[in-house]
Amino acid sequence: MSRANVGKAILTFAIAAFPIGGVLADWNKTHLFNPAWHPHAKYHGLSMLLIVICVSTIAIWLLWRRSLESEVGIRVGALISLTLWTPFLYAVHLVPGASLWVGDPATPVPYPEVAGITLYPQVVLAVVFLMLTAGGYGLTRLGNAGS
């Protein structure tokens, strides 16, 4: 397998992991089927999940389609992956009272802390997938430069 195709495979994994993870994390009683959630919040949750599934599918198609401008599909795929994963780094700070904790708000957060920073799994995953996105994009660029 060429370096460019390895890079595309890594980008595909980073892109596809988001909607798959979204379905696994949100299609349950803590999110979309949570009776405490307002019906309009459930609507927005499902709408966003469906948008992510569709946009991710388009990104993967652009990444792998045959084209005279394959670099455009690679860039768009990488940008979409960045767009999906980056908000985990800052979104919780934009709305007062927002939290990454999905448990009972009255219970203490059981996540480890390093230097006073709570290590939420969502943020750690986002950092990993942002690094995979950068690595995959870099490999496609190196692979395309060699051909």
pLDDT score, position 146: 61
How many whole angstroms separate alpha carbon 41 and alpha carbon 49? Answer: 12
pLDDT score, position 60: 98
pLDDT score, position 95: 83
pLDDT along the chain (147 residues), means of 10: 94 98 92 92 96 98 94 96 94 81 72 85 94 97 75
Q: From the DSSP assignment, how many helices (H) and strands (E) are in the chain?
A: 4, 2
Q: Give the contacts of 110 (CB within 8 A, at least 6 positions apart).
A: 103
pLDDT score, position 14: 98
Q: What is the largest CA-CA distance in the chain?
A: 58
pTM confidence score? 0.89
Q: Which of 86, 62, 133 is nearest to 141 (CA)?
A: 133
Q: Which two tokens stand for residue 108?
A: 């203490």
How many whole angstroms separate alpha carbon 118 and alpha carbon 49? Answer: 26
How many whole angstroms separate alpha carbon 91 and alpha carbon 83? Answer: 12
pLDDT score, position 147: 60
pLDDT score, position 139: 96
Angle at 83 between CA 16 and CA 7, to 5 degrees: 50
pLDDT score, position 99: 77
pLDDT score, position 115: 92
How many whole angstroms separate alpha carbon 25 and alpha carbon 115? Answer: 28
Q: Give the contacts of 105 (CB within 8 A, at least 6 positions apart).
A: 99
